[in-house]
Structure 1
Amino acid sequence: MSGHSRSRSIGLIAGLALAIVLAGISERLVAEPVTRPAPPNFVGSESCAGCHPGQAALWRKSQHSHAMAHATETTVLGDFNDARFEHFGVPSRFFRRDGKFMVETDGPDGKLTTFEAKYTFGIDPLQQYLIEFPDGRLQALTIAWDARPKDKGGQRWFHLYPDERIGHDDVLHWTRLNQNWNFMCAECHSTGIRKNYDAQTDRFATTWAEISVGCEACHGQGSNHVAWAHARQSGWPSEKSLDDTMGLLVRYAERSNIGWTLDPNTGNSARSAPPAMLRTEVEACGRCHARRGQLFEDWVPGHWLSDSHVVSPLGRGLYHADGQMRDEVYNYGSFKQSKMYAAGITCSDCHDPHSGKPRHSGDNLCLQCHSADKFAIASHHRHAAVDPPLGCASCHMPVRTYMGVDRRHDHGFRVPRPDLSAQLNTPNACNDCHADRTPQWAAAAIDSWHGPSRKGFQTFAPALAASWAGRADSSKLLAAVAADHATPDIVRATVLTELNAYVSAETMEQAKAGLSNPDPMVRIGALDLLEGGPPLQLWAIASPLLSDPIRGVRIRAASLLALVPAAQQPVADRPRFQSAAEEFVAAQRLNADRPEARSALGRFLLQRGQVTEAETEYKAALRFSPAYAPAAVNLADLYRQGGREPEGESVLRTALIAAPRDAELHHVLGLTLVRLKRYDEAIAELRQATELEPDRARFAYVYAVALHSAGRMADAISILKQIAARHPHDRDTMMAVIAFSRDAGDIDTALDYAERLAAAFSQDAGLDRLVRELRQRLPNPTAR
């Protein structure tokens, strides 16, 4: 830019700035003062009812309204008239005393003790009861009241773990960690929860703004909206800055001005405009209807859920390989993988947001968008003669039962896939009813009705199943799912996390692409993929996410990059890392009542070189839960690094007293004993780990190597062959069979396994060379 044009531009900018300032002064001379609105606070649902009586009436009858309540004659549903219940020999009695609801049952020491049931928890189809302890804990009794009608099997006491003996020292016992209301339940059964846990005294002072799930649990603090409404009733508001938003923190407007047009050819409807990337309603509902953990208490509606919570992807143990719910995962993960979500459907398209009930009964709900002429006909569903008749949900939203009596529909809205059941052992709606027939029978029937190409929207099952089985083609299948533009983002996040086990140049490119994805779960999945890579290389790739707009992404980036010493961090980047690291630590401190958080903080501190502080956190985790294996393993490893191996052995043996059947603890203890040169003891521990978890290929491999080192060659090869039969693509196991057999002179066996491995990893030239070398060692090399 020339000097003349530069000074002319400066003059124009200065003139514009002066004009704006003068205009602002002129406006202030004639307009009312503009003030910044005060930070909002909670006002309670009854404050809303005055202007919104219809919504309030619906809410008062909802599950949300009855999520938690003081135990009174009107709120308690259970039989407290000296009712008796026994579970695995432990008697319990429910009775009343001085107007209070009492229960006599086994306490934290296993002895029968009398407690007051101070709060009700839920209303339908079951009701639990909360008992308060002197340290501020509320604990959820695991004997619950079945609130269903008697003719449906209800109106009885039942145990949430009917087939298990839950001793007083079990983490699932009602007095223990996993039945603690303050952490496990409070945020989603009340409004405005502040946990207020004091780690120094191990006490809670938890508070709520409203005991149940009220208006502000979804809409956020309402004081500014109330102020705006009062001002509008009395004249123009003094705080005009509230007028654009009506004082609300969020407007759930995803359905506003949206229409759906039915395509007569397909029988399906299309949204008049594509949905926004951030689906505020789904993210708000997901706060409690997702499998997630809390990172931050000051949740604000209208933000990504990952800004305040860490959300579980479609991981093993939580979901089946095809995305169907397995464990208690609620609806968020299921819905976000669905074709309905992709089409732009939101929660309130189907559910009234205030009553929580479906907007229409039965199939009429689905027929809002799907043509009855196409789908409500026998040629589609093939069950015209069934009595009672099946509905859309019977096939497309299969039911799983949780907590003994709570039947929940899967919100994945999938096409039944018995063919996948035959291949991958996933459930399917057909065989849920036709339990006496095979998945192959059901698959053949569907193919005869609708053709073999009707496979539905969720097509990622083969990739996840391959990864969970450790198959050689896992990386290729997962990468293809990640690269497919049609893949739902929650699935993409899941496969990126899975790809961590198969790091390569190709997967690194997938990670780089994921780091810039607009969905924060995908960015977190990409960071998961990078875990374990060279720290300085990771810094170059991942450090920009230390200033990501989403807290959950920043926290994950900080934990990934914690191994990079401060001295090796670029000077300009250090403040960003420090800020994100402080957020990580704050998230763990928020959950300092949990062993998972204390162990995670210990690992982070150890990576930062704070060994003493890390040791303190690991020990705190084990005080909370002596059976928590990750903390015991990490503490033992800390001692190993410090040359304190005997102390590590002591930690592991103490943990095994609390968790004698934990294979991981036995395995790590075996490795510790190897380093202590107590080989016979080590082999015994490694064997026990293998027997406890025979499908953990790594455990069996290490056990076999130990046997080989002890001179027990035949035993080692036998163990390896057993695990290779279950895991034919486990490279370490197969290579060990090859090496040990070759060394024992059994070239035929070595070659057999080498050929199998080369066929599984067909792109590996090294395996082809190995096969050729072994063939040359045969007595007659040309015979094979």
Structure 2
Amino acid sequence: MLSSPASLRGKPRYRLPLLGGLILATLLAGCGEKHENGKSASTDPRTLGPLPITHRPERLDQIGEETCRTCHADEFRSWGQSHHAHANRPIDPTLDQPAFDPTRKLVEGDSQYRMEWRDGKPWMIVDEGEGETTYPLDGVLAYKPLRQYLVPFPGGKWQTTTAAYDPAKQEWFDVYEGQNRRPGEWGHWTGQGMNWNANCAYCHNTEFDKNLDPVSGHYQSEWTRQSISCVQCHAGLAEHVESATEADGGILPRRLNAFQVEASCASCHSRRDDLTANEFRPGDSFHDHFGLTLPVYPDLYYADGQIQDEVFVFGSFEMSRMGHAGVTCMDCHDPHSMELTRPVANNSTCMWCHEGGVDGAPVIRPVEHSHHAEGSLGNRCVECHMPKTTYMQRDPRVDHGFHSPDPFLTRTQGIPNACSTCHTDESIEWAEEKVAEWYPEKKVLTRQRDRAQAIQAAWEGDPSIAPRLMELAKAEPIPAWRATYTGLLTPYAGNPDVQEFLNQSFDDPSSLVRSQAALAVGRAETLAPEFDDLLADPNRNVRLAAARTLNNRREPITRPATEEEWEEYLLFNSDRPQMAFILADRAIQAEDAEAAEKWLQRAIYLESPNPELLREAAILYSRLGNSDAAARRLEEAYSLAPNEAIYPYSLALIRAEQGRAKEALQLLKISTRLDPGFDRAWYNLALAQLRAGNPAAAYQSLNRATSLRGTENWIRAYQAIGQALQQQQQ
């Protein structure tokens, strides 16, 4: 059994054995239980098949879209044409057979796929160099511009194919074309990164529960309906349906304000961390259930905040002046069709606010502002301020950060700009000149440049950037940017001025800022007494950030309710390697070697060909006292990345621990050859050479180490060896 005092005993409902719960439910239901539609659970066709339409037919009958349709026909029609209505579905021969019949073939890197229709359903035959394997395809993810298919795997897992079908072009392609993802990798279609239960299903189905059993690692996922229907966004539907008549609406659904509606949108249209076990419901606070991803780390956003990787809208919108001004999703989008309520071509989407300055919006005259002719693409607001980035090869998505194009940042930092995207025949310098000529006093460009330059410097580890980040944070009105600057101060938290700033940020009105401050201050030598107050913060994202910091510092989480939230968070996300590592570390602290071993095996299973993950596992095995297992993991890592100095270096430390000094010495020499700038490798090589009776070589190695990073201890050792060598010569 996978258990530990620190993780699996006597805590909230998420720790109940899932199988036992299912057995109990079966006994209570009995074989002949009838639903409101007169069908038993065992015969209702909606509950049958490998990927049923619903696991909760009673609930679906009560609050499903067909119930709402009677009185809300127009809304039903709008919804029926939306992406939400087609987000996830069973196989439909009418819709799907043309993609497989006649047989189609696809080659991606070292993988060959054959798509066939036989026995009334689709199949995928895969050859990745070790012979063919045939997989049934039992479900469909998404609608337009592409469809991916779902493959059942043992343990209740469903995997999403990277081979996708473009219904408009009627052709197959790979969403990660050119990456040649291999079996065992996180992002391979059989890997955990493409697992439907953990990564896709919540946002493609109604009232989805992942139901991960943390003991076995198996899923018993359930949902009320495939695809997104009414109850996913509306609160209080059950009471409304029960009380409504044709003459009287009865108890109306709970009216949500614009920001509560936006939180429902953001629950899916964001790149975020799940803080609860699929517990968000319409009307809840986003920050009580999700941790929003911001540009604290590179490669997700460009340094000015433009989208780079898939970040799914809400983070960009939170960083925008539009979002800060109070604009929300439904100001532009129809809540049922999701389409824009006003046309883009004539700028009506934007001009209904910006033509007359509604609620303080800047007044814009499009032709005068854009310097492009009426009716041209260059005169459309969205072409300049909401540029598109294509993901998954076929899916263009617009940026909701509403930035101003700036060719200067393209030239200096490689950040794209809309001018050059359109005017491909012109130089960056030409675009810069035009922007300077047309917008000589545009303050937004100064703000964007200040922001981009500081963030890029922080990403690159500039040791002098902390004062600038604090200056920008103090002047920043938008909470998401203030939180970003705060998070970027993490490496500098040992600086007293930075620590004081972070402590003051504990009182920021934004939970985004408070949560980033709680994480960043973890690098400080000591925590201020006020830090404990964060464990009782009104927002869960702050409480869990504080819990993570204490966990990383191996200090106790002193508030029992927050400790419970932290454990539930870890277990719900234990299908992620990093969470399994944290659970292993907690088990080691609790002196539960068996549980630690199990969690380490889980983490490695989830992404075994990742050398850095194997190195992390080796560190924990070493702490567990199992140097042999640590060495095996480092050998695997070294074989996967033979040109990375960190792996022979780490293996050398284990060999030294095992008393295999000669091997350690050779590995350290390899490490310094691979990376001559690796200061710690030179230092440890010096120690190994000294132990081997070669002080002259040790002196030379320490000379290299101290020239790269002159710590006080290293310099003293260097001087001591130098003096000893001089005495020998005398």
- Specify the TM-score bucket, using the shorter chain as the normaliser: 0.7 to 0.9
| Cα distance, 1:444 vs structure 2 | 2.3
The answer to whether structure 1 residue 325 and structure 2 residue 307 are counterparts is yes
Corresponding residue SS for 2:302: coil
Correspondence list, 1:84-123, <5 A: 84-88=105-109, 90-106=111-127, 110-123=130-143
**Structure 2 partner of 1:293:** 273
Q: 1:303 to 1:520 in 2, by over 3 A?
A: farther
| Cα distance, 1:499 vs structure 2 | 0.6
**Structure 1 partner of 2:183:** 168
Corresponding residue SS for 2:226: coil
**Structure 2 partner of 1:751:** none
In structure 1, distance between residues paired with 2:353 and 2:645: 51
Match 1:281 to one of 261, 265, 271: 261
**Structure 2 partner of 1:364:** 348
**Structure 1 partner of 2:487:** 497
**Structure 1 partner of 2:512:** 521
In structure 2, distance between residues paired with 1:465 and 1:161: 27
Corresponding residue SS for 1:593: coil
Q: 1:143 to 1:741 in 2, by over 3 A?
A: same
| Cα distance, 1:619 vs structure 2 | 2.6
Corresponding residue SS for 1:195: coil
In structure 2, distance between residues paired with 1:609 and 1:560: 21
Letter matched to residue 496 of structure 1? T
Query: Per-residue displacement from partner, 1:677-729 (whole Å, max 9, x unpaired)?
Result: 444333255347649xxxxxxx73324445666538778888999xx8xxxxx
Corresponding residue SS for 2:113: strand
Q: 1:477 to 1:437 in 2, by over 3 A?
A: farther
| Cα distance, 1:532 vs structure 2 | 3.1
Letter matched to residue 205 of structure 2? S
The answer to whether structure 1 residue 427 and structure 2 residue 416 are counterparts is yes
The answer to whether structure 1 residue 654 and structure 2 residue 636 are counterparts is yes
| Cα distance, 1:304 vs structure 2 | 2.4
Asked if the contact 2:706–2:715 (Cα under 8 Å) also holds between the matched residues in 1, the reply is: no
| Cα distance, 1:392 vs structure 2 | 1.2
Correspondence list, 1:155-194, <5 A: 155-194=170-209
The answer to whether structure 1 residue 215 and structure 2 residue 200 are counterparts is no
Letter matched to residue 106 of structure 1? D
In structure 1, distance between residues paired with 2:717 and 2:349: 63
Q: 1:436 to 1:95 in 2, by over 3 A?
A: same
Q: 1:690 to 1:397 in 2, by over 3 A?
A: farther
TM-score in terms of structure 1 length: 0.74
Letter matched to residue 230 of structure 2? C
Query: Per-residue displacement from partner, 1:460-515 (whole Å, max 9, x unpaired)?
Result: 212211111222321011111221242x2112222212111012222222222222
**Structure 1 partner of 2:164:** 144
In structure 2, distance between residues paired with 1:89 and 1:653: 26
Query: Per-residue displacement from partner, 1:410-462 (whole Å, max 9, x unpaired)?
Result: 11001112222222222211222334544343222211111054434645212
Asked if the contact 2:235–2:283 (Cα under 8 Å) also holds between the matched residues in 1, the reply is: no
| Cα distance, 1:281 vs structure 2 | 2.6
| Cα distance, 1:158 vs structure 2 | 0.6
In structure 2, distance between residues paired with 1:621 and 1:540: 35
Higher relative contact order (CA 8 A, sep 6+): 2
| Cα distance, 1:106 vs structure 2 | 3.4
Match 2:470 to one of 476, 479, 499: 479
| Cα distance, 1:139 vs structure 2 | 1.0
Letter matched to residue 256 of structure 2? Y
**Structure 2 partner of 1:682:** 667
Alignment: residue pair count? 639
Letter matched to residue 491 of structure 1? W
Which runs of no fewer than 5 residues in structure 1 stay unpaired?
1-39, 149-153, 238-242, 255-278, 692-698, 725-731, 746-784
The answer to whether structure 1 residue 58 and structure 2 residue 78 are counterparts is yes
**Structure 1 partner of 2:215:** 200
TM-score in terms of structure 2 length: 0.79
Larger Rg: 1
Asked if the contact 1:673–1:682 (Cα under 8 Å) also holds between the matched residues in 2, the reply is: no
**Structure 1 partner of 2:562:** 580
In structure 2, distance between residues paired with 1:642 and 1:179: 31
Q: 1:80 to 1:670 in 2, by over 3 A?
A: farther
Correspondence list, 1:231-250, <5 A: 233=247, 243=251, 246-248=252-254
Letter matched to residue 386 of structure 2? M
Q: 1:657 to 1:182 in 2, by over 3 A?
A: farther
Asked if the contact 2:144–2:167 (Cα under 8 Å) also holds between the matched residues in 1, the reply is: yes
In structure 1, distance between residues paired with 2:656 and 2:438: 61
In structure 2, distance between residues paired with 1:688 and 1:593: 38
Corresponding residue SS for 2:578: helix
Asked if the contact 2:83–2:143 (Cα under 8 Å) also holds between the matched residues in 1, the reply is: yes
| Cα distance, 1:247 vs structure 2 | 4.5
Asked if the contact 2:191–2:607 (Cα under 8 Å) also holds between the matched residues in 1, the reply is: no
| Cα distance, 1:103 vs structure 2 | 2.1
Query: Per-residue displacement from partner, 1:178-218 (whole Å, max 9, x unpaired)?
Result: 11101010100101111122233432221110100111122
In structure 1, distance between residues paired with 2:673 and 2:314: 39
Letter matched to residue 123 of structure 2? M
Q: 1:376 to 1:438 in 2, by over 3 A?
A: same
| Cα distance, 1:308 vs structure 2 | 1.2
**Structure 2 partner of 1:352:** 334
Corresponding residue SS for 2:579: helix
Letter matched to residue 125 of structure 2? E
Match 2:67 to one of 32, 35, 47: 47
Match 1:512 to one of 493, 496, 503: 503
Match 1:601 to one of 575, 578, 583: 583
Bigger mean CA deviation after superposition, 357-366 or 635-644:
635-644
Q: 1:502 to 1:563 in 2, by over 3 A?
A: closer
Query: Per-residue displacement from partner, 1:279-300 (whole Å, max 9, x unpaired)?
Result: 3233221111111122212112
Letter matched to residue 504 of structure 2? A
In structure 1, distance between residues paired with 2:711 and 2:543: 40
Correspondence list, 1:755-766, <5 A: none
Asked if the contact 1:674–1:682 (Cα under 8 Å) also holds between the matched residues in 2, the reply is: no
Q: 1:674 to 1:205 in 2, by over 3 A?
A: same
Correspondence list, 1:261-280, <5 A: 279-280=259-260
| Cα distance, 1:330 vs structure 2 | 1.0
Letter matched to residue 474 of structure 1? I
Asked if the contact 1:627–1:656 (Cα under 8 Å) also holds between the matched residues in 2, the reply is: no
In structure 2, distance between residues paired with 1:668 and 1:448: 56
**Structure 2 partner of 1:695:** none
**Structure 2 partner of 1:417:** 406
Asked if the contact 2:593–2:624 (Cα under 8 Å) also holds between the matched residues in 1, the reply is: no
**Structure 2 partner of 1:466:** 457
| Cα distance, 1:228 vs structure 2 | 3.5
Asked if the contact 1:324–1:410 (Cα under 8 Å) also holds between the matched residues in 2, the reply is: yes
In structure 2, distance between residues paired with 1:442 and 1:739: 56
Correspondence list, 1:433-444, <5 A: 433-435=422-424, 437-444=426-433
In structure 2, distance between residues paired with 1:397 and 1:565: 44
Q: 1:674 to 1:322 in 2, by over 3 A?
A: farther
**Structure 1 partner of 2:87:** 67
Bigger mean CA deviation after superposition, 366-375 or 88-97:
366-375
Q: 1:316 to 1:642 in 2, by over 3 A?
A: same
Q: 1:438 to 1:667 in 2, by over 3 A?
A: farther
Identity %: 28
| Cα distance, 1:518 vs structure 2 | 2.7
The answer to whether structure 1 residue 343 and structure 2 residue 343 are counterparts is no
Query: Per-residue displacement from partner, 1:568-613 (whole Å, max 9, x unpaired)?
Result: x7xxx94x2x221121111121122222221122234445665654
In structure 1, distance between residues paired with 2:642 and 2:606: 17
